Amino acid sequence: MAEHESLEFGKADFVLLDNVSMEEFMANLKLRFDKGRIYTYIGEVVVSVNPYRAMNIYGRDTVEQYKGRELYERPPHLFAIADAAYKAMKRRNKDTCIVISGESGAGKTEASKYIMQYIAAITNPNQRAEVERVKNMLLKSNCVLEAFGNAKTNRNDNSSRFGKYMDINFDFKGDPIGGHISNYLLEKCRVIFQQEGERSFHSFYQLLRGAPDSLIRSLHIQKDPAAYNYIKSSINDGADFKAVADAMKVIGFTGDEIQTVYKILATILHLGNLTFGVDGDVTLIENTKLVSILRELLSTKEENVEKALLYRTVATGRDVIEKQHTVQEASYGRDALAKAMYERLFCWIVGRINDIIEVKNYDAKIHGKNTVIGVLDIYGFEIFQNNSFEQFCINYCNEKLQQLFIQLVLKQEQEEYQREGIPWKHIDYFNNQIIVDLVEQQHKGIFSVLDEACMNVGKVTDEVFLQGLNTKLAKHAHYTSRKLSPTDKSLEFDRDFRIRHYAGDVVYSVVGFIDKNKDTLFQDFKRLLYNSSNPVLKGMWPEGKLSITEVTKRPLTAATLFKNSMISLVENLACKEPYYVRCIKPNDVKSPLLFEQERCRHQVEYLGLLENVRVRRAGFAYRQTYPRFLQRYKMISEFTWPNHELSSDKEAVKRLLQGCGFDHDVAYGKTKVFIRTPRTLFSLEEQRAEMVQRIVLFLQKVWRGTIARMRYRRMRAALVILQAYRRYKVKSYFREVHRRFKNVKSMKDYGRHVKWPTPPKVLRKFEEALRSIYNRYADKISAFYFQRCTSLNTETEDEPLSNNMFLNCKNRAVLITDRHLYKMDPLRQYKPMKSIPLYNVTGVSVSPGKDQLVVFHTKDSRDLVVCLQGMVPANESRIGELVGTLLSHFRIHSQQNCRTTCSDRMTVTVGK
């Protein structure tokens, strides 16, 4: 079920603002920040505000909430955009990318890590070991790259000082199988110099603070960062040393490779403490002990180290000469070597990671298409007091990405309207192509002017470069300098120029542009490191194998290399389906409570967020596929709830919106419905919320009734089973009683020795009563059944009984109790036919012959005659026993003396 935030948190999508203005945009952004909602949508773009505090919104439970969901189904989140990119890649077999942008400290690096963690969490459901290994290496690579590429700045304690683009490769099942990392423009000048309050790269401090004593001694370094000229310290990174070392081992770095990394870091620290002096005309190294340490760490010869630091070998035709450095040249060479070594180290680390994680032996014909999700985490647009060559390149990079963003957003919108058959409404927007051309255009752009200045013969200065800019760009609307604007005192003569960027005006100082663009490193250092006996270090400097006299092409300048890499990056992103995360830094003091309006407003402007909203709102504020729209709003209309019977979902949506009176504010595309104003969508949401309450109550009622019926059926079933079981037990008991006692009448003790079966619990009292009755009557009843009972009907009195006097003989049964004597009919279920009270019996006569006649004499002269033929053996002892039993019974219960006779002649009195 979709979950939407209450309006108390503001609008979750800026596209749904009532009025598109900077004031409403900022008010909504601040409200959501104050309420702890750091993510907001602009259509399919996520705006992220750095909360400067830990938030419990990235756990496994949150991952499950966004897994497989559409963007609109859950509140705005990074996971939603990551899932959208993953679904597009997996379902539509399309390469996608997630572009993360914003200024330093806005949270770009953290956002990229959360996106990587989400992709890792939702993939490989079958827990394949190889996929788990690849995922682990991809995640660990972040840890390593942060250590060597990030640094503390005045704006951010973990600022990425390089650009990073990672491609993650997926197989046809959607599981990661490898990746590739591209790095851009490492800020290597930070190795030798940092602004006040800033630091060098984390790796130096982690080594000094966290390395074991044995490693510290082997590298000849101290734990105190203050002992080294190149670095400054303010944070203890000791705990991170082991984490980075372990991550490198997981990725696949060997022990020797990791040791070489530490040696290079130590070498750079020692280089920073190397000082030069002059003895006459000779330049020398003042602290020569460091040369021996450098020789050991670099695995080369000591004399070669000293020579490379103090001399430059120059080839003039066939002649080779050694030119001694001045102190300034030696210091420049030392710093250039330190920067180059760190840059080569960083690029080697990236290349080594790529060697391990890149997809190998993948055949698309066998394994299916290899799809990609790209994640771009790159430095943001910034304005400093003294903006250098590096910052100029960074801001140019952001101009390129902003151009791509605007073009793709407009392109996506236009393509969608055309695809759906909806008229496209053109809107005006600022196209920053003019600024991009200002920087990169051939022969006219700033990079071209800079390269031309570097190629000039003779003394080339930064001022010469600035003059070239003033000449070629004098009429450009987005360029100016103090020479072109003499009255502008914010610019220094022969030093500054200003560019009117998309995000604002920035003043750059040309000091250092020429040197940084040339990026000169003496060939002697390259040969020195190539000739190292350490194979890892040797492999980092392949060009060192060239001989001194060997002619080489002029290397590309730093500006050209960076421009080419940016063009390649943008082309790579343009061929993928892009998703955007736009990061905003709410304040400069890293407070979780402070929202600085002007600072945030400036970032909104340079990120183009308001223009993005306007583009999105140019035609229709909201669009959704017909099935999805019905799924959310079908309960509003009786024609669509619970399911419609119309010809298509499109017709059902039309009927729904017409019934609500919104037909004038919508357009119907081929696969989607387009809603023009947010007010219509809010009205639909209000009607839906009202209906949802009623539906919930109805469902609760139905469910409670269902539960009650289920409970009743279970109870009834249990009762039926219980009753059936009881009946079964009772019947079983009676069958067993019958089986055991069915022949007791032929037993001498009438069954007194028979063991009673164990009764069920329900019959225990009954069994006790039954046993009592049985025992009582077993003692007292003389006979229970008399078969072939014979009754005599005659009108004579006092006439001798003889065989020929029988007129009517029938089978009868006689039952004698303690009060009555009953004559019963066996053919009519032993229905009593005659009842004689025992006190009315005066005597019993028994025939000794085979006829076995018995006569019960009564006071009212209605004697009963029965025949025991076939039931009692014809002998006197058995008859005597029977007569004795009857006599005893009658004496006890008739309360009078009964005469008993045994004779072959008996007198029967028969009344009328």
pLDDT range class, residue 363, cuts 50, 70, 90: low
107 among annotated binding-site residues: yes
104 among annotated binding-site residues: yes
Query: Active-site residue among 160, 398, 532, 845?
Result: 160
- Tell me the pLDDT tens digit for each residue of 53-80: 999 999 999 999 999 887 777 899 999 9
- Tell me the pLDDT tens digit for each residue of 393-447: 988 988 888 888 877 776 677 777 888 888 766 666 677 889 999 999 988 899 9
- Inter-residue contact 854 to 866 (CB < 8 Å): yes
- Print the SS3 string covering 421-439: CCCCCCCCCCCCHHHHHHH
Does 218 qualify as catalytic in the annotation?
A: no
Q: What's the burial of 128, exposed, middle or buried (CB within 10 Å: 0-12/13-18/19+)?
A: middle
Does 331 qualify as catalytic in the annotation?
A: no
pLDDT range class, residue 621, cuts 50, 70, 90: low
- Please determine, for residue 2, whether its predicted confidence score (pLDDT) is greater than 50: no
**Residue ranges of the alpha helices (H) in 95-201?**
108-122, 129-149
So what's the pLDDT on residue 880? 59
Give the mean model confidence (pLDDT) for residues 222-230: 91
- Nearest Cα neighbor of 812 from 851, 857, 868 is 868
Does 163 qualify as catalytic in the annotation?
A: no
Query: Active-site residue among 10, 43, 105, 179?
Result: 105
106 among annotated binding-site residues: yes
Query: Active-site residue among 210, 380, 445, 669?
Result: 380
Q: Sheet of 899-902: strands edge to edge?
A: 864-867, 853-858, 841-846, 899-902
Percent residues over pLDDT 70 in the chain: 88
- Inter-residue contact 285 to 309 (CB < 8 Å): yes
- Inter-residue contact 237 to 202 (CB < 8 Å): yes
Report which DSSP code applies to 540.
Answer: T
- Tell me the pLDDT tens digit for each residue of 517-568: 888 888 899 999 999 999 999 999 998 887 777 656 778 889 999 999 999 9
Does 637 qualify as catalytic in the annotation?
A: no
CA distances from 182 to 141, 287, 348, 578, 779 (A): 12, 39, 12, 18, 111
Helices and strands in the chain: count of H runs, count of E runs: 28, 28
What is the SS3 assignment for 179?
Answer: strand
d(CA 697, CA 691) in angstroms, rounded, equals: 10
Q: Tokens for 554, please give them.
A: 């002029």
Does 93 qualify as catalytic in the annotation?
A: no
What is the SS3 assignment for 371?
Answer: strand
Q: Tokens for 576, please give them.
A: 């993928």
pTM of the shown model: 0.71
- Tell me the pLDDT tens digit for each residue of 708-756: 999 999 999 999 998 898 889 889 988 998 888 888 877 777 777 888 8
Q: What angle do CA 764, 770, 773 make, to 5 degrees?
A: 145
247 among annotated binding-site residues: no
108 among annotated binding-site residues: yes
Query: Active-site residue among 104, 150, 395, 398?
Result: 104
Which of 88-102, 328-342, 637-651 has the least mean pLDDT?
637-651
Residue entry with tokens 């008229």? 423
Query: Active-site residue among 40, 50, 109, 123?
Result: 109
- Inter-residue contact 181 to 353 (CB < 8 Å): yes
- Please determine, for residue 50, whether its predicted confidence score (pLDDT) is greater than 50: yes
- Print the SS3 string covering 549-612: CCCCCCCCCHHHHHHHHHHHHHHHHHCCEEEEEEEECCCCCCCCCCCCHHHHHHHHHHCCHHHH
- Nearest Cα neighbor of 577 from 416, 408, 452 is 408
Does 150 qualify as catalytic in the annotation?
A: no
Q: What's the burial of 354, exposed, middle or buried (CB within 10 Å: 0-12/13-18/19+)?
A: middle
- Tell me the pLDDT tens digit for each residue of 366-407: 556 678 999 998 877 777 777 888 889 988 988 888 888 877
Looking at the DSSP bridge assignments, the partners of residue 481 are 497
So what's the pLDDT on residue 1? 37
So what's the pLDDT on residue 466? 92
d(CA 457, CA 796) in angstroms, rounded, equals: 172
Q: Tokens for 432, please give them.
A: 């920053």
Query: Active-site residue among 156, 388, 395, 894?
Result: 156
- Nearest Cα neighbor of 609 from 876, 808, 424, 405 is 405
103 among annotated binding-site residues: yes
pLDDT range class, residue 812, cuts 50, 70, 90: confident
Does 160 qualify as catalytic in the annotation?
A: yes
Residue type, 637: S
- Tell me the pLDDT tens digit for each residue of 775-790: 777 665 434 333 333 3
Query: Active-site residue among 187, 382, 413, 440?
Result: 382
Does 156 qualify as catalytic in the annotation?
A: yes
- Inter-residue contact 320 to 313 (CB < 8 Å): yes
Residue type, 700: Q
So what's the pLDDT on residue 85? 92
Which of 76-80, 231-235, 874-878 has the least mean pLDDT?
874-878
